[in-house]
Copies of this chain bind each other. A is one copy, B any other.
Amino acid sequence: MIPSPYFLYLGHSNDEIGIKTSRGLAVFRGEDCVGEFRHDDCSLTLGLPRMTFAEAVSAGAKTLVLGIANAGGKLGEDLVEDALAALDAGLNIASGLHQRLRDEPRLAAAAKAKGLALFDVRDPASDLPIGDGKPRAGKRLLTVGTDCSVGKMYTTLHLARALQARGVRADFRATGQTGILIAGDGVPLDAVVADFISGAIESISPARHDGGWDLIEGQGSLFHPSFAGVSTGLLHGAQPDALVLCHEPNRPHMRGLPHYRLPDLADCLEANLRTARLTNPHVKAVGIALNTSKLTPDAAARFCAETSDAFGLPCVDPVTMGVEPIIDWMLKCELSAPAATAFR
């Protein structure tokens, strides 16, 4: 486990998408974050106190989280120097970059000399199993999407918290670096070897017998030609009872691919249900989650209402409207499912 409280790194970042890991921690683990580190040329803030490494240590921070993404996921010279200064001040370091902290000799030596730890959360376990698709006990929900970065992690976390607030046992199962840092555990699915995709998901959401739910963070999209293999293995490994479809209206094209339009919502939902049925024939859609941050509140409300009517499912923006309608519907579906198989 990565020691908290955390100190969140922004560095020289000027791209909101580039700091999404630090932002995710500030939003979902805010109580465990003492402050943010940014250079003078960084125009972004998480709204946390700006501190030096020494001030962060005085404020109780145990780990500097390099919660930024840069081109290629590389450890640039800036990052290495800042991480060395943080180690010198007494902080452990955690990173979700592709390039491993421990492969940088200066960081490995400094951490060893100071008795501190380096955490590479994009390093999958070496003993992942191959998936077997055997039916397992417990209830599982998976978020799926029309595209990458449409709010699957946010939706999953909001659903987990809303269930917990009602006294239902619910665990968030992380599949990406930000989610893993928030949850303290999970599998970095994009870094897993291809043969182990579904097995990795089976291993993080094993059979459960306590009546609770696993809320599994989705990745990619069946309609993204770069990453649909990951999404397919995730659907099969998750063996979901319930799907929530995530979407950002008005996105001009698939992320990173100007030559691909987004799929139609109905086609996308049907493709996900069809794929999921291989390992759970009783899977159902229980809601639609929209990221409406680029719409006016009126337009957002109208879009949600129209989508809800068209699909006969609750449709919300989890961040601005909450997820209660989806939780209500999901628990109602569960009650109406055949008793012998619970919601299966």
* Contact mask for chain A residues 176-213; partner B; CB cutoff 8 A; 1 contact, 0 none: 00000000000001111111011100000000000000
Which of these binds chain B: A14-22, A149-157, A163-171, A226-234?
Answer: A226-234
Nearest-neighbor residue (CB-CB) of A234 within chain B: B229
Determine if A172 is an interface residue (Cβ-Cβ < 8 Å). no
Please tell me if the beta carbons of A228 and B191 are within 8 angstroms of each other in the complex: no
A133-B260, A194-B194 are known contacts. Are A279 and B225 too (CB-CB below 8 A)? yes
Please tell me if the beta carbons of A228 and B223 are within 8 angstroms of each other in the complex: no
Interface centre among A226, A229, A234 (most CB of B within 10 A): A229
Nearest-neighbor residue (CB-CB) of A259 within chain B: B134
A193: chain B residues at CB < 8 Å are 190-194
Please tell me if the beta carbons of B257 and A133 are within 8 angstroms of each other in the complex: yes
A232: chain B residues at CB < 8 Å are 222, 228-229, 231-233
State in angstroms the CA–CA spacing of A121 and B228 once bound together. Answer: 26
State in angstroms the CA–CA spacing of A190 and B189 once bound together. Answer: 15
Taking the closest CB of chain B, its distance from the CB of A78, in whole angstroms, is 24
Taking the closest CB of chain B, its distance from the CB of A344, in whole angstroms, is 15
Identical chains bound together, number: 2
Nearest-neighbor residue (CB-CB) of A230 within chain B: B194
Please tell me if the beta carbons of B191 and A195 are within 8 angstroms of each other in the complex: yes
Partner of A194, one of B134, B190, B260, B271: B190
* Contact mask for chain A residues 251-293; partner B; CB cutoff 8 A; 1 contact, 0 none: 0000011011000000000010011001100000000000000
A278: chain B residues at CB < 8 Å are 223, 225, 228
State in angstroms the CA–CA spacing of A275 and B229 once bound together. Answer: 11
Please tell me if the beta carbons of A229 and B194 are within 8 angstroms of each other in the complex: yes
A227: chain B residues at CB < 8 Å are 195, 198
Please tell me if the beta carbons of B194 and A130 are within 8 angstroms of each other in the complex: no
Residues 80 to 137 of chain A near chain B (Cβ within 8 Å): 130-135
Determine if A62 is an interface residue (Cβ-Cβ < 8 Å). no
Determine if A139 is an interface residue (Cβ-Cβ < 8 Å). no
Please tell me if the beta carbons of B226 and A229 are within 8 angstroms of each other in the complex: no
Determine if A236 is an interface residue (Cβ-Cβ < 8 Å). yes
Please tell me if the beta carbons of A225 and B236 are within 8 angstroms of each other in the complex: yes
A195: chain B residues at CB < 8 Å are 190-191, 226-227, 230
Please tell me if the beta carbons of B226 and A132 are within 8 angstroms of each other in the complex: yes
Nearest-neighbor residue (CB-CB) of A260 within chain B: B133
A199: chain B residues at CB < 8 Å are 226
Interface centre among A191, A192, A194, A199 (most CB of B within 10 A): A194
A231: chain B residues at CB < 8 Å are 229, 232
Instruction: Offer 8 A-B interface pairs, CB within 8 angstroms, sorted by A.
Output: A132-B225, A133-B259, A192-B194, A194-B194, A194-B229, A195-B230, A198-B226, A228-B232
